[in-house]
Structures are given as structure tokens and as C-alpha cells.
Amino acid sequence: MPDLSPNITVICGGVGAARFLRGLVRVADPASISAIINVADDMVLHGLSISPDIDTITYTLADAIDPDRGWGLRNETWRAMEALGRYGDRNWFSLGDQDLATHMQRTARLSEGASLTEVTAEIASAWDVGVTLLPVTNNTVSTRVTRTDTGEEISFQEYFVGTQHSVAISSVRFDGIEQARVTAEAAEAIRTADIVVIAPSNPIVSIAPVLDIPGVREALSARTGSCVAISPIVGGEALKGPAANMLHELGLEASATGVAQLWSDVIDVLLIDDVDAAHALAISECGVTPFVTDTIMASPTRSSALARSVLSAGHLHSTRSTQGPTP
Ligand code: FO1
């Protein structure tokens, strides 16, 4: 009996990746899916270890995410944050009362010597998440953003939440990345994947801090299977968050073609939205195969259709490449 559900490994950031995974689990066996998740948004706040992208994906796959915010839990209360307000403005980063339990559990387990990989698996299991959730590294990597107006370097969350990503940036760096290493589990998930997918997350602060972790690109280039990405930029805009602005501010092209150029060293196929069909030729000139389809995940049904398109694009590419050049 052929293995109906291929091994799928998804390179993930936060909300866009979570939405894609939500659709993917409806068309593929969750036990055959691994998510390699960005940890450079992570921070310690109130002495608690907070991993926003891991939690966004965990809560989304557990169907517990708040659908309007796209992060944190639905039916959340904010009594702790209100009470904290009495002492000043440490409550700039909103941690819901139920969400706090996750950060307390993660912090306690890390202090007992567990790795972030172990803790992430324990929390995923407590939420009955079938997909294997893997932080890309157990090491601390922190996205640092330099704001153009003051020249000050701030943390990702100070930029994203503190300023509501309203300030222009002149540079981004990932503090600690040179000393970091891809985990054995994440490297294995890449090595054994029949298809690797780059989810539609922010190329600068969600996907780059995964691809740039030492060992990730090496694992990707050692594969023979296909690597398929979904453009997070549609019609020159990001569907959510600052990705298009960040690309512009860093002198990069904020378009489907710009994304193909960024990822041409790792991807074979780029799924682009119908509105970007005119970019197909330029994308193929980057050595990347364009695949034009509806990429707007406005409903679980459309997320599932997108996931099906990704799997067929990946299969199409890999069969074509194994058959060698067309006669
Ligand atoms: N995003 C906000 O815009 N405001 C917040 O107060 C906020 C709190 C928060 C708490 C836990 C968590 O897991 C995510 C949270 N986010 C918040 C989102 C967070 O900034 C993520 O890093 C972004 O979603 C980008 O991935």
C-alpha cells in the first residue's frame, strides 16, 4: 500500500503559518506533518519564557486560538494584566490569564533542565496537537530591529507590539544566531521530508531566522525532494503584519518576484496568488517554478485548497525532476 500521506515538513513563523497548517491537517495525516518554528520572536518577560510563534501554532492547531487576534486564546480574560497595571506599564505585552499558564509551564520545565524541544512537545501533547512541533533551535536567538527615526536598536516585540510596527526600520539582525545550531530533530524532519514547505510568514523576521540557523540550509540542500513556498506578499502587500513595509525599508522588492529572489537558493516552486499572475515569467527567470492559484486563506476551506495545491505542486515538481529534462 503506497504511503498515502507523504512526510511534510513546514518552515513556520506565526499567524500565516498557523493558518496554512490549519488547512494542511485537513488534507494530510497530522502524524506525517512536522512544523519547524521560528524562535527569534521569543523573550523573557516578568521572568517568564514566552515563545509567541510556537504558541500561535499550538493554539491554532488545538482550535483554541482567538480568531480575531490571531494570537493568544479565545474567551481569554486579562485580570492579571489589569492588576499588573497598578505597578506601572509592564503590561504593554498582553498576556491573558489562561495564556500565562503556558508561559509558567514552559519556564518551570526549562528551569528543570528540559530543552525547548522537549517542552514544546509536552505542551503540544497536552493540547492534543497531532503535528510534530519543533523549535528550529534550542539556543536563544533574538531578533533585533533598528528603528530609522532614532537609530535605536529594539527587540522584535518592542517593534511589533510596542510601536505596533508603525516605525520604519533600517536593519534587522538575529542576536546569537552564529552560536546557535539547528536541533537534531529539526534537521531530521528536513532530511526525511518528501516535501518541505515554506509557509506564508514574514520573510524577514519569521522565515529568515529559521533558514539562517546554522545547519538548516545545509539540511535543505542535501535533500532531493521538492521545496515549495507560498508567497506571503500578494499584490505587493502582506495580508497581515509589516512584511511588505520591512521589505521596502530594507531595499528589497515587496512583490511575489521579490520573494522568489529571496528564496531562490532553497525553493523549487513558489505559489503566487491569481492577482500576481503577471509575475510568473520573472519568477521562472529566478530559476523558481511559479504556480498561480488562490492563496488567500480566508476560510479553513480555502486553506485546505491551498494545502492541496502545495502538495500537488510539490509532487508535480519532484516527478518532473526525477524524470529528468522533458524530451
Ligand atoms: N501581539 C500584539 O500585537 N499585542 C500583544 O499584546 C501581543 C501579546 C502576545 C502574547 C502572547 C503571544 O503568544 C503573542 C502575542 N502577540 C501580541 C503576538 C506576538 O507579538 C507575535 O510575535 C506576532 O504575532 C508576530 O509573530
Let me know if residue 130 belongs to a domain: yes
Q: What is the DSSP letter of 65?
A: B
Residue 327 pLDDT > 60: no
For residue 317, what pLDDT is reported?
80
Q: What is the pLDDT, as a whole number, of residue 318?
A: 78
Q: Does a structural domain hold residue 121?
A: yes
Dihedral angle over CA of 191, 187, 55, 295, nearest 10: -40
Cβ neighbours around 77 below 10 Å, total: 11
Please report the pLDDT score of residue 325 as a whole number.
56
Nearest CA to ligand 1 atom 2: 161
Q: Are 42 and 210 in contact (CB under 8 A)?
A: no
Q: Determine the Cα–Cα distance for residues 125 and 114; give it in Å rounded to an integer.
A: 15
Residue type for position 15: V
> Is residue 5 over pLDDT 90?
no
Query: Which domain covers residue 296, as residue numbers?
Result: 8-141+176-323
Q: Quick check: is 159 in a domain?
A: no
Where is average pLDDT lowest: 4-18, 165-179, 313-327? 313-327
Q: Is the minimum distance from the CB of 18 to ligand 1 under 6 angstroms?
A: no
Question: 323 pLDDT band (50/70/90 cuts)?
Answer: low
Give residue 162's identity as a one-letter amino acid code: G
Among residues 63, 29, 35, which one has the least CA distance to residue 51? 35
Residue 3's pLDDT is what?
A: 52
Average pLDDT taken over every residue of the chain:
95
Instruction: State in Å: Cα 36 to ligand 1 middle.
Output: 19
> How many angstroms does the Cα of residue 52 sit away from the middle of ligand 1?
6
Instruction: Answer yes or no: is pLDDT of 18 > 60.
Output: yes
Mean pLDDT on 155-184: 97
Contact yes or no for 134/112 (Cβ under 8 A): no
For ligand 1, atom 8, which residue shows the shortest CA distance? 94
pLDDT tens-digit profile of 42-95? 999 999 999 999 999 999 999 999 999 999 999 999 999 999 999 999 999 999
Residue 212: CB atoms within 10 A of its CB come to 16
Answer yes or no: is the C-beta of 94 below 6 A from any ligand 1 atom.
yes
Asked whether the beta carbons of 238 and 70 are under 8 A apart, the reply is no
Find the mean pLDDT for residues 309-327: 76
Q: Is any atom of ligand 1 closer than 6 Å to the C-beta of 95?
A: yes
CATH number for the domain that contains residue 308: 3.40.50.10680
Domain count, the chain: 1
**C-alpha dist (Å) from residue 305 to 46, 110, 164, 231:** 41, 38, 32, 15
Atom 3, ligand 1: which residue's CA is nearest?
A: 161
Of 140, 286, 148, 157, nearest in space to 209 by CA:
140
On the question of pLDDT at 229 being above 90, the answer is yes
What is the pLDDT averaged over residues 245-255?
Answer: 96
Cα distance between residue 170 and residue 158, in whole Å: 15
Helical spans, DSSP H, in 116-255:
116-126, 156-157, 184-191, 208-211, 216-221, 243-249
pLDDT digits (tens, 9 = 90+) for 164-178: 999 999 999 999 999
pLDDT at 200 over 90: yes
CB atoms within 10 A of CB 319: 10
Q: What is the mean pLDDT of residues 10-18?
A: 96
Verify whether ligand 1 is closer than 6 Å to residue 42 (CB atom). Answer: no
pLDDT of the residue at 1:
45
**Residue 149 maps to a domain:** no
Question: What value does the mean pLDDT take over residues 294-316?
Answer: 94
User: Is the pLDDT reported for residue 233 higher than 60?
Assistant: yes
Q: Report the C-alpha gap between 174 and 295 in whole angstroms.
A: 29
Nearest Cα to Cα of residue 203 among 237, 232, 174: 232
Let me know if residue 275 belongs to a domain. yes
Does the CB atom of residue 160 touch ligand 1 within 6 A?
yes
74 three-state secondary structure = coil
Q: What is the pLDDT of residue 324?
A: 57
User: What pLDDT shows up at residue 322?
Assistant: 63
pLDDT of residue 321: 66
Instruction: Note the pTM of the prediction, 2 decimals.
Output: 0.96
